C-alpha cells in the first residue's frame, strides 16, 4: 500500500476506522466514502466513552465529517 493519504483511504473503504477531530472527539465507523478534501462518510458510527473502545455508545447510522476538522484517521 502506498503512503499517500488518498490511497490509504481508498484501501480502507468498507473497513472500520477511527477518526480523531481537532476538538479531541473520536468517531469509530465503517468508511463508506471520501473526497479529495478528505471529507469522510462513516456508517454504523460509535463514539468511545472516556477514550475507551469497550465503552462505545452508538452515535448515528451515517455521519459526514468535514475534512478540515480531521486530525487523524486510523485504519
Per-residue model confidence as pLDDT tens digits over 24-67: 999 999 999 999 999 999 999 988 876 555 556 666 689 999 99
* Residue 53, C-alpha cell as written in the block: 473502545
The SS3 assignment for 39 reads coil
The SS3 assignment for 21 reads strand
Residues 62 and 54: their CA atoms lie apart, in Å, by 21
* CB-side neighbour CA atoms (13 Å) of 58: 5
Q: Does domain 5-74 have CATH number 2.30.30.100?
A: yes
How many C-beta neighbours within 10 Å does residue 44 have?
15
DSSP β-ladder status, 70-74 and 16-21: antiparallel
Residue 59 is predicted with a pLDDT of: 64
Amino acid at each position: 500500500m502506498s503512503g499517500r493519504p488518498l490511497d490509504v483511504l481508498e484501501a480502507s473503504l468498507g473497513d472500520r476506522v477511527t477518526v480523531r477531530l481537532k476538538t479531541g472527539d473520536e468517531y469509530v465507523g465503517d468508511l463508506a466514502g471520501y473526497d479529495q478534501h478528505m471529507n469522510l462518510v462513516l456508517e454504523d458510527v460509535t463514539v468511545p466513552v472516556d477514550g475507551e473502545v469497550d465503552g462505545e455508545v452508538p452515535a448515528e447510522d451515517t455521519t459526514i465529517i468535514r475534512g478540515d476538522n480531521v486530525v487523524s484517521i486510523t485504519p
